[in-house]
């Protein structure tokens, strides 16, 4: 069991009344009392279960209210009760499900984690709920310093600015690139990329459905993301040369007009697509030669690949000029090298985060670095890669039992494999990646008590971002019992 963070954080200045409050034995005891109440109830959630009949009507009402507030029905009939246990989460109708998507990658340490609750409560004692650029406490900079220390292990990143969403971290990243390379105003991005939903990010993101009605004012040139089937067919070197040629064409067509190239080293929404180092390196070398900023969007990958930063696994840290993280860090952030440190006024904002998110974010970073029960999360034999291998085994066993669910041909061409992704970004591709069937499968799996989501733009995949910080590897067969029941319902139509 992880020790609970009921002790005060080290960043508090000694000798103030604020320190005195943080050090108070009464506060510590109160936090421990809260955590033990959480623990006692959380421990009672030990398996999935259906809704409780006496809670169904109230749940329906709450769902309707949520839909009214939102202006449309929710994608999933999901309203949490506020309690869970590791990868298990209780909903307001009393049902309990495996959460294999964790808020699209946010809750790496699952639900009702006692240590993170203690950190959140302690952070919530801050004099104000929110911090901003003008006035904040030291917790804001302590979080940034922790993140920088980890990022600097294998990159030239030197500074960090925090924000409250991944899209905003990306906006800040883009501004930093534009300012450094002014008046260059074009952006290079990969086909199928996703960057968030501000006006600019939804223009760069390669999904027409996400920008209906948005005027197009950002100049974007799209590069193909690595295609393993084409690379195999043409030969990898020839394929990479072709992509470099493609990039060079843009640069010759618009000389000195590109401010940056945005890289997702593993595409998230785009389908958990991976690429080898040589592919990225070849493109990054061209960027370097032409003074185009290399911007690495790790908002979905951070923490989840076989290394803490995806650039570490690919040994590309030296190339990165600008980096964005979010989701599991709780606080989103834009990091940049000394050369990209912008002038005053470019990065600011009313909110940078809250006391609770800084405290939980710091604790998340600390635990990612420390590992679990003496085992590292990272490396080939780390918990993340081991879980990935168990996931792959489960998918292959499922496909062996039901080969008809896993055709290799899709209407977009052959699949490279029925299972893919990397580390804690896991995908499986049943039903030829058909959009409608994948959507139905998500819903059927939900009804069979496992929460997943889809990714890709064709073929479509089922995606999992499991809470690997707390997930027990031996539970994969239990999760896949639910997956099998759900897919059987989809297959039956």
Question: What are 380's strand-pairing partners?
Answer: none
Are the CB atoms for 192 and 270 separated by under 8 Å?
A: yes
Minimal distance, residue 206 CB to ligand PLP, in Å: 12
- Among 9, 114, 306, 326, the residue binding ligand PLP under the rule CB under 6 A is 326
Following DSSP, what letter does each residue of 159-221 receive, concatenated?
Answer: EEEEESSHHHHHHHHHHHHHHHTTT--EEEEETT----SSHHHHHHSS-GGGGTT----SEEE
Are the CB atoms for 420 and 274 separated by under 8 Å?
A: yes
φ/ψ of residue 326, rounded to 5: -175, -155
Residue 210 in the binding site for ligand PLP (CB under 6 A): no
Cβ proximity to ligand PLP: between 146 and 298 the closer is: 298
Residue 171 in the binding site for ligand PLP (CB under 6 A): no
* Segment lying near ligand PLP (by CB under 6 A), choices 142-150, 189-197, 311-319, 372-380: 189-197
322-334: b or e for each residue (b if 16 or more CB lie within 10 Å)? bbbbbbbbbbbbb
Minimal distance, residue 195 CB to ligand PLP, in Å: 5
Cβ proximity to ligand PLP: between 193 and 368 the closer is: 193
280-315: b or e for each residue (b if 16 or more CB lie within 10 Å)? beebbebbeeeebbbbbbbbbbbbbbbbbbbbbbbe
* Segment lying near ligand PLP (by CB under 6 A), choices 52-60, 231-239, 297-305, 403-411: 297-305
- Among 77, 86, 144, 166, the residue binding ligand PLP under the rule CB under 6 A is 166
Residue 195 in the binding site for ligand PLP (CB under 6 A): yes
Residue 423 in the binding site for ligand PLP (CB under 6 A): no
Cβ proximity to ligand PLP: between 221 and 269 the closer is: 269
Residue 303 in the binding site for ligand PLP (CB under 6 A): no
Alpha carbons within 13 angstroms on the beta-carbon side of residue 472 total: 10
Residue 300 in the binding site for ligand PLP (CB under 6 A): yes
Are the CB atoms for 358 and 140 separated by under 8 Å?
A: yes
Torsion 125-129-134-140 (CA) sign? positive
Residue 156 vs residues 143, 148, 172, 179, 303: alpha-carbon distances, Å: 18, 10, 18, 19, 19
| H helix or E strand, kind and range, residue 22 | helix 17-23
Residue 22 in the binding site for ligand PLP (CB under 6 A): no
Q: In the stretch 98-127, what mask flags binding to ligand PLP with x, by CB under 6 A?
A: ------x-----------------------
Q: Tally Cβ neighbours within 10 Å of residue 153.
A: 12
Following DSSP, what letter does each residue of 331-392 receive, concatenated?
Answer: SEEEEEEGGG-PPTTSS--S-SEEHHHHHHHHHHHHHHHH-BTTB-SSSTTSHHHHHHHHHH
Residue 239 in the binding site for ligand PLP (CB under 6 A): no
- Among 90, 115, 264, 385, the residue binding ligand PLP under the rule CB under 6 A is 264
* Segment lying near ligand PLP (by CB under 6 A), choices 172-180, 285-293, 295-303, 394-402: 295-303
Cβ proximity to ligand PLP: between 31 and 193 the closer is: 193
Residue 170 in the binding site for ligand PLP (CB under 6 A): yes
* Segment lying near ligand PLP (by CB under 6 A), choices 165-173, 176-184, 310-318, 386-394: 165-173
Cβ proximity to ligand PLP: between 195 and 398 the closer is: 195
Minimal distance, residue 165 CB to ligand PLP, in Å: 4
Tabulate helix, strand, coil % of the chain (nearest 5). Answer: 45, 15, 40
Minimal distance, residue 298 CB to ligand PLP, in Å: 8
Minimal distance, residue 78 CB to ligand PLP, in Å: 17
Residue 167 in the binding site for ligand PLP (CB under 6 A): yes
Q: Which residues lie near ligand PLP (CB under 6 A)? A: 104, 165-167, 170, 194-196, 264, 268-269, 297, 299-300, 326
């Amino acid at each position: 069991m992880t020790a609970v963070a009921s002790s005060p954080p080290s960043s508090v200045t000694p000798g103030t009344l604020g320190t005195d409050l943080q050090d108070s034995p009464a506060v510590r005891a109160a936090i421990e009392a809260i955590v033990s109440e959480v623990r006692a109830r959380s421990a009672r959630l030990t398996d999935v279960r259906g809704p409780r009949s006496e809670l169904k009507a109230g749940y329906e009402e709450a769902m309707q209210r949520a839909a009214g507030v939102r202006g449309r029905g929710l994608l999933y009939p999901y309203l949490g009760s506020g309690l869970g246990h590791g990868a298990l989460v209780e909903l307001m109708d009393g049902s309990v499900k495996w959460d294999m998507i964790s808020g699209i990658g946010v809750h790496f340490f699952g639900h009702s984690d006692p240590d993170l609750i203690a950190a959140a409560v302690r952070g919530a004692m801050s004099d104000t709920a929110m911090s901003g650029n003008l006035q904040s406490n030291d917790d804001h900079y302590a979080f940034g310093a922790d993140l920088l220390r980890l990022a600097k292990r294998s990159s030239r990143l030197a500074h960090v600015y925090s924000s409250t969403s991944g899209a905003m971290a990306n906006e800040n990243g883009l501004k930093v690139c534009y300012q450094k390379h002014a008046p260059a105003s074009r952006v290079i991005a990969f086909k199928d990329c996703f960057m968030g939903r501000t006006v600019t990010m939804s223009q760069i993101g390669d999904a027409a459905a996400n920008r209906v009605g948005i005027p197009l004012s950002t100049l974007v040139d799209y590069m193909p993301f690595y295609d393993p089937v084409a690379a195999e067919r043409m030969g990898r070197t020839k394929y990479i040369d072709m992509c470099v040629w493609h990039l060079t064409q843009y640069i010759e067509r618009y000389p000195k007009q590109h401010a940056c190239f945005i890289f997702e080293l593993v595409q998230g929404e785009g389908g958990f697509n991976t690429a080898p180092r040589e592919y990225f390196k070849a493109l990054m070398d061209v960027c370097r030669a032409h003074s185009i900023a290399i911007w690495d969007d790790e908002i979905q990958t951070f923490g989840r690949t076989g290394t803490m930063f995806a650039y570490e696994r690919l040994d590309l840290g030296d190339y990165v000029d600008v980096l964005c993280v979010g989701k599991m860090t709780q606080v989103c952030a834009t990091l940049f090298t000394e050369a990209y440190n912008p002038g005053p006024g470019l990065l600011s904002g009313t909110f940078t985060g809250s006391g609770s998110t800084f405290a939980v974010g710091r604790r998340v970073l600390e635990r990612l670095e420390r590992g679990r029960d003496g085992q590292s999360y990272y490396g080939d034999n780390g918990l993340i890669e081991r879980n990935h291998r168990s996931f792959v085994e489960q998918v292959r066993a499922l496909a062996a039992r039901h080969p008809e669910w896993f055709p290799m041909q899709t209407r977009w061409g052959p699949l490279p494999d029925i299972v893919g992704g990397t580390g804690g970004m896991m995908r499986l591709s049943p039903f030829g990646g058909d959009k409608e069937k994948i959507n139905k499968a998500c819903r059927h799996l939900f009804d069979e008590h496992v929460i997943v989501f889809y990714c890709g733009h064709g073929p479509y995949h089922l995606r999992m971002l499991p809470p690997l910080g707390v997930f027990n590897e031996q539970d994969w067969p239990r999760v896949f019992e639910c997956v099998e029941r759900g897919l059987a319902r989809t297959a039956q139509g």
